[in-house]
């Protein structure tokens, strides 16, 4: 994005009337003795706001210009705090803390899952991940980065002198009478450091099943899953497809008082009352294998495994589900049929698999058309035309025929052929249905689902 390479002189920008800039669709960058440097689009009218010098302009879309100007108060305030911090003889944490508080409030208001603070060669870039997509929000001079990094490390109880090795920490901030949890990852780069702050309270794992945006035909099977006493249920998809959200939402449907529920996670991001959650930590010898080896001695009714990652974790999941436990787990695979192939690649016992596997849920997340502007772009959707995400999903129920096919090690095309004659609805079909109903666009569907899937 061109804004990254152009650190804006906010002192100069503040001299303009914001309403006039919005009407003219112009973002002033800076001025010198020769040029007025600015961002414009095809509809801009520069002469409406500036006529004193030659114009040097860079192209941005109309939506990007409106997005920038809609948040101008925060941009100017953050810039002023950067200046005050630079003018201080010593590091003044008051200015830095106020700067970070503005970022945190903004991230919470925007439903951002992550704040990225990155040190580039000439600048410091701040991006928010909203609905799975990263977007640049602020760009400032690089000299402020060091003080901000040190303050975040202090807040997270990390070593402020360490800039060569990765560090992980946490901190809590109170906003509007509510405590928010944040997880911090700091990574050294060739330009300094990259800081990622995960806004744990904005992660969607707090949602109930009804809030996940599934199509109606999916909910019946999800409800059936919550009545199971034993067996294996897998949720598949790539990273960022909503697997953890679905698993957490399913867990919350069970009766915590009468069920012993244990989760094995790396890491535990959201705490659930009355659920025994285990945070895997290889550094102290509490790895997946160690936990899995001992978990059945805890007399669980339901086990949630964060990820089936190898044959050992798969074997434990199959063993547990065969001996009267309900096991819920995630696995990386493109769709339901590919999940079966992945299990075979992990050398799953075909008899155990055919006996214990009950459901495979495969899913993706697509951007939803903004309900406030219906894709015409507005401040609510950051002028993108999209607000929130919806789930595309398919659920493969392992009936007697599919179970027999698994046991007999049938090929993928044979299972696909059988499913074509049932009421099985693929993710692609689910996506096209959501396009027809106006929830998303076909381009968004094809971004996450192959056109060749059944």
Q: State CA 95 to chain mean position distance.
A: 29
* Structure tokens belonging to residue 327: 């096991």
Those residues whose C-beta lies under 8 Å from the C-beta of residue 355, and which sit 6 or more positions away, are: 322, 403
Backbone phi and psi for residue 148, each to the nearest 5 degrees, phi listed first: -65, -45
Mean pLDDT of each 10-residue bin along the chain, 454 residues long: 71 93 95 91 94 90 95 93 80 87 95 95 93 93 91 96 94 87 95 95 71 87 93 95 91 92 86 87 77 89 92 91 94 94 92 96 96 93 94 95 94 92 94 95 94 64
Rounded Cα–Cα distance for residues 118 and 120 (Å): 6
Give the Å distances, CA to CA, from 230 to 227, 274, 319: 9, 20, 11
CA-based nearest residue to 37, from 2, 81, 82: 2
Contact (CB, 8 A) for 69 and 22: yes
Distance CA 6, CA 139 (A): 8
So what's the pLDDT on residue 321?
A: 94
Transcribe 21-38 into DSSP letters: HHHHTEEEEEE-SSEEEE
Q: CB neighbours of 350 closer than 8 A, spacing ≥ 6?
A: 344, 406, 407, 408, 409
* Ramachandran category for residue 382: left, alpha or beta (phi over 0 → left; psi -120 to 50 → alpha): left
Domain boundaries, the chain: 1-62, 71-202, 204-448
Strands 276-279 and 261-265, how do they pair? parallel
The dihedral sign for the CA sequence 247, 252, 258, 261? positive
For the chain, the distance separating the N- and C-terminal CA atoms, rounded to the nearest angstrom, is 37
Instruction: Indicate the length of the chain as a whole number.
Output: 454
CATH of 71-202, one of 3.40.50.2300, 3.30.450.90, 3.40.50.2000, 3.20.20.70: 3.30.450.90
Question: Token pair of 18, please?
Answer: 């914001």
- Provide the edge-to-edge strand list for the sheet that holds 35-40: 26-31, 35-40, 54-59
Residue 73 CB coordination number (10 Å) = 9
Name the superfamily (CATH) of residues 204-448. P-loop containing nucleotide triphosphate hydrolases (3.40.50.300)
Whole-angstrom CA distances from 296 to 90, 154, 275, 300, 348 are 56, 40, 15, 7, 20
Give me the residues paired with residue 189 across strands. 192
Distance, CA of 422 to CA of 400 (rounded, Å): 13
Phi, psi of 180 (to 5 degrees): -110, 135
How far, in Å, CA of 123 to CA of 5, rounded? 8
Q: In angstroms, what is the C-alpha Rg of the chain?
A: 26
pTM greater than 0.95? no
> How far apart, in Å, are the Cα atoms of 262 and each of 251, 265, 297?
10, 10, 11
| Rounded distance between C-alpha atoms, residue 418 and residue 406, angstroms | 13
- Pairwise CA distance, residues 373 & 406, whole Å: 48
The Cα–Cα gap between 331 and 435 comes to 27
Report helix angle 336-345 to 412-419, nearest 10: 150
> Would you say 234 and 250 are in contact if contact means Cβ atoms under 8 Å apart?
no
In angstroms, rounded to a whole number, what is the distance separating the alpha carbons of residues 45 and 59? 13
Residue 267 CB coordination number (10 Å): 13
């Amino acid at each position: 994005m061109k804004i990254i390479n152009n650190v804006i002189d906010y002192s100069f920008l503040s001299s303009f009337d914001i309403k006039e800039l919005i009407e003219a669709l112009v973002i002033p960058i800076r001025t010198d003795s020769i040029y007025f440097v600015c961002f414009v689009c095809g509809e801009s009218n520069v002469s409406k706001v500036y006529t004193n010098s030659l114009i040097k302009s860079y192209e941005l879309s109309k939506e990007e210009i409106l997005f920038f100007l809609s948040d101008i108060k925060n941009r100017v305030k953050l810039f002023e705090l950067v200046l005050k911090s630079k003018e201080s003889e010593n590091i003044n944490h008051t200015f830095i803390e106020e700067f970070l508080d503005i970022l945190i409030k903004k991230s919470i208001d925007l439903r951002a899952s992550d704040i990225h603070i990155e040190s580039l060669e000439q600048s410091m870039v701040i991006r928010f991940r909203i609905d799975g997509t990263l977007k640049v929000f602020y760009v400032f001079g690089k000299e402020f980065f060091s003080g901000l990094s040190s303050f975040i490390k202090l807040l997270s109880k990390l070593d402020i002198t360490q800039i060569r090795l990765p560090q992980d920490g946490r901190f809590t901030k109170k906003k509007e009478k509510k405590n928010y949890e944040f997880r911090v990852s700091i990574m050294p780069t060739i330009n300094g450091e990259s800081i990622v702050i995960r806004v744990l309270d904005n992660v969607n794992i707090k949602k109930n099943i009804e809030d996940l945006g599934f199509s109606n035909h999916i909910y019946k099977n999800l409800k059936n899953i919550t009545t199971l006493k034993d067996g294996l249920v897998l949720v598949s998809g790539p990273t960022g497809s909503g697997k953890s959200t679905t698993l957490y939402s399913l867990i919350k449907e069970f009766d915590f008082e009468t069920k012993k529920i244990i989760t094995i996670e790396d890491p535990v991001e959201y705490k659930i009352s009355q659920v025994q959650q285990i945070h895997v930590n290889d550094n102290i010898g509490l790895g997946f294998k160690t936990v899995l080896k001992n978990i059945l001695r805890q007399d669980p009714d339901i086990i949630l495994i964060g990820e089936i990652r190898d044959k050992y974790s798969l074997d434990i999941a199959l063993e547990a589900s065969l001996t009267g436990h309900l096991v819920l787990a995630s696995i990386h695979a493109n769709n339901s049929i590919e999940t079966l192939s992945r299990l075979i690649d992990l050398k799953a016992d075909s008899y155990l698999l055919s006996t214990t596997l009950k459901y495979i849920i495969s899913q993706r997340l697509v951007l939803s058309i903004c309900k406030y502007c219906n894709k015409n772009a507005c401040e609510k959707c950051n002028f993108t035309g999209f607000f929130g995400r919806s789930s595309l999903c398919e659920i493969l129920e392992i009936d007697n025929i599919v179970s027999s096919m698994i046991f007999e090690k049938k090929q993928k095309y044979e299972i696909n052929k059988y499913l074509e004659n049932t009421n099985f609805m693929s993710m692609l079909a689910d996506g096209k249905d959501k396009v027809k109903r106006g929830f998303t666009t076909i381009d968004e569907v094809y971004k996450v689902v192959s056109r060749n899937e059944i």
